[in-house]
Homo-oligomer: A and B are copies of this chain.
Amino acid sequence: MRGNKGFLLISPFPQKINRFFKPEQIVDLDEIITVKNLGDEDIDYDLIDSLLPDTIAIIGQFDLPKTRLEKAKQLKVIFNSEGNFAQNIDYEYCFQNNIYVLNCGEAFALPVAEMALGFALDLARGITKTDKEFRNNKENYLAEACKNSVLLSGSSVGLIGFGFLGKYLIDLLRPFNCNIQIFDPWVPDSVIRKYSAVPVSLDDVLSSSKFIFVLAGVTKENEYMLNREKLSKISRDAFFILMSRAAIVKFEDLVRCIREKRFAAAVDVFPTEPLKDNHEIRKLDNVLLSSHRAGAIPQAYEKIGNMIIEDLKLILKGLPPVIMQQARRETVGKLKNKPSA
């Protein structure tokens, strides 16, 4: 009576199934819901449409307009396995029809937080810079070589955006006893204070932090928010660490600041990826360059698989999901993050 259980429809293109699940996990899932694994080569909408009437749960980020959703009368949950709420789903239909749309984004938060901390320590201590000097027989030693090195411990840290990334980063920063100030207009002050941080304005984060971490997702409201005028508030010995999305900054303004040595930076995301070969930033030397490598590590994908399984089990037991992030009516329409698989 397998069919009675309804379908779990898996079609995660452009993601890869085996990043999320080991084969035995799929087998285990099939014990509690009939798995229809459509592969990850591309998206077969005809096949999808034919399966939707019996589908209870979907893993993927293919287009789900109202016309398609209306076919899925038993649908309870859509697991987005890409990390963003893209605008190719009729969210309002889902809200009205008790269909959860769940996002795996939290799975990337710990890898991003570790990377952000690694970037901060690299900038504070000149790790990458010294390795390069060593390769050119130009290294100095001991105190002479450390004149510009500073501790992260006890320093002033500013976070722009306080979602998952910020919460995971603040956990890692705890033993450093930093003075942490946070700008996030979507987050009430008491939430920030609960994390022993101080809610401040964007200008305050920029002008009075030694380490500035950009951790916000892109919305209609904050796109290109960090322009030349805002970046000019950053103090000359600060470290600017761009982790979440390039579109938060006017990228050419950031490049100019780096070129003019207004501050040092680490950059993991770019307006277009791959970055073109002759982009000026490749030659600048007070910037640490990273190719969108903060989140997408194998352990993050394994975690996504586990998150999906745990929330799916709750839903099949008639309980609410508690692991993954739900799309919310008020904000899902404002998000502008681009896919980044």
Contacts and interface: CB of A to CB of B under 8 A. Distances in A.
A328 interface: yes
Nearest to A152: B114
A122 interface: yes
A276 to B, nearest CB: 9
- Tell me how many chains of this kind the complex includes: 4
Nearest to A113: B153
A140 B291 contact: yes
A149 interface: yes
Contacts of A125: 114-115, 118, 293, 297
Contacts of A176: 172
A131 interface: yes
A313 B306 CA distance: 35
Given A111-B149, A293-B145, A330 B323 contact: no
Of A122, A283, A297, A341, most buried by chain B (CB within 10 Å of CB) is: A297
A320 B329 contact: yes
B111 A151 contact: yes
Interface string A174-189: 1111000000001111
Contacts of A298: 146-147, 149-150
B313 A320 contact: no
Interface in A281-314: 282-283, 288-293, 296-299, 301, 306-307, 310-311, 313-314
B175 A141 contact: no
Interface of A: 16, 19, 95-96, 98, 110-111, 114-115, 117-119, 121-122, 124-128, 130-135, 137, 139-143, 145-147, 149-153, 171-172, 174-177, 186-191, 196, 273-275, 277, 282-283, 288-293, 296-299, 301, 306-307, 310-311, 313-314, 318-320, 322-323, 328-331, 340-341
A323 B135 contact: no
A289 B115 contact: no
B151 A299 contact: yes
B121 A117 contact: yes
Contact of A137 (B115, B122, B142, B282): B282
Contacts of A190: 306-307, 310, 323
Contacts of A174: 174-175
B134 A292 contact: no
Nearest to A189: B310
Nearest to A111: B151
A340 B141 CA distance: 10
Given A151-B297, A320-B331, 5 more contacts: A16-B143, A131-B289, A133-B291, A150-B299, A319-B330
Of A124, A188, A273, most buried by chain B (CB within 10 Å of CB) is: A188
Contacts of A133: 291
A331 B137 CA distance: 38
Contacts of A313: 188
B127 A288 contact: yes
B147 A188 contact: no
Given A115-B125, A282-B135, A299-B150, A141 B322 contact: no
A269 to B, nearest CB: 10
